[in-house]
Every structure is written in C-alpha cells, then in structure tokens.
Amino acid sequence: MQKECLFFLIGLFKKVYVADSFAKWANNGFSIVESGKILNFFESWATSLSYTFQLYFDFSGYCDMAIGLGLLFGIMLPINFNSPYKALNIADFWRRWHITLGRFLRDYLYIPLGGNRLGKWLTLRNLFVVAFLSGIWHGAGFGFIIWGSLHGAAMVIHRVYSGFVEQ
C-alpha cells in the first residue's frame, strides 16, 4: 500500500504544487499577449519555459496518480514519462515523452507504413507522417498541425544528420 500511495502523492504534488505554480507564470504571460502588449525578452522566455514545465508536470502528475490508483486495484499501468527533458536529441525526447502514445503510433502507424525497412526516403516520410499525425491527435487546430509538421521536420533532419555523422 505504501508504493501505491507514494505514486499517487508524488503525482498530486507534481500537479497541484509544481504544475499549477508554473501555470501562474505561463498564464500571466499569455494574458499580457492577449491584451495586445508585447513581452520583453525575459518575459517571453519565462512564459515559454513556464508553459513547457507546466505541461510536463501536469501530464506527468496525472499519469503518476493514475499509476498509483491502478496499483491500489492491482493494475500495473506503464510509466508514461522517462525524464524527457534529459534527452539529447528530438528522437530521444520522443522515446521519453508520452511513451504509451509513442508506442501506439509506432505499432499501429510507423511499422504498418514500413517503418525503416523500405529505404531511406520512405523512412523519412514515415517519420514525418507519424509526427504530423501526432500533432493532429493532440488537437485538430491549425497550431497543432504546425506543431506536428515542425516535429516531423525535426525528426527528419535529425535522422538525416545522424546518417551523415555515422558515415
């Protein structure tokens, strides 16, 4: 019972104390922009980083609470985050962030598209398609389409660069 409660309490702490604290900073910055004012350099970085950490601690906290509750009922849920901000590149980040979604997209989209077995160009296409559709999965708005496209481009650039470095 200790492990279950510990997972839940860590998740609750991440959500209520850490994520919600970052949310205050992020929301303040967003409110300034929505009012038509421009953020200075420091405010822009503080808002961006606050939102980045708020998003991580919010989602990670909920996942930890779910794992703790699952353990209380004898259900072992998978870990969904593995220190994504320690990643050294975009591919490593996506292996660590929202692991269950990444596995789903790999198993039901990337591999059926051919994965990396059909040559370099199709591998690059598959990486882009998966990241692009991941963006749409997060939300059907224009911002998420751009977000998915940018992550797809980053994955492709990383794969191409990694290929040059290995040679």
Q: Which amino acid, residue 146?
A: I
CA angle at 55 for the pair 14 and 80, rounded to the nearest 5°: 70
Query: pLDDT band at residue 1, thresholds of 50, 70 and 90?
Result: confident
Domain ranges of the chain: 2-72, 84-166
Tens of pLDDT along 114-145? 999 999 999 999 999 999 999 999 888 999 99
Looking at residue 159, its pLDDT comes to 95
Looking at residue 91, its pLDDT comes to 94
CB within 8 Å of 25: residues ≥ 6 apart: 46, 47, 50, 54
CB within 8 Å of 63: residues ≥ 6 apart: 11, 77, 79, 80, 81
pTM assigned to the model:
0.84
- pLDDT of residue 150 exceeding 60: yes
Q: Which residue has the tokens 């994955």?
A: 155
Looking at residue 163, its pLDDT comes to 79
Tens of pLDDT along 56-72? 999 999 999 999 999 99
**Cβ count within 10 A of residue 140:** 9
- Integer Cα distance of 13 and 19 in angstroms: 9
Tens of pLDDT along 18-77? 999 999 999 999 999 999 999 999 999 999 999 999 999 999 999 999 999 999 999 999
As annotated, the active-site residues are 138
- Mean local confidence (pLDDT), 140-164: 93
- Mean local confidence (pLDDT), 66-91: 96
- Mean local confidence (pLDDT), 100-125: 96
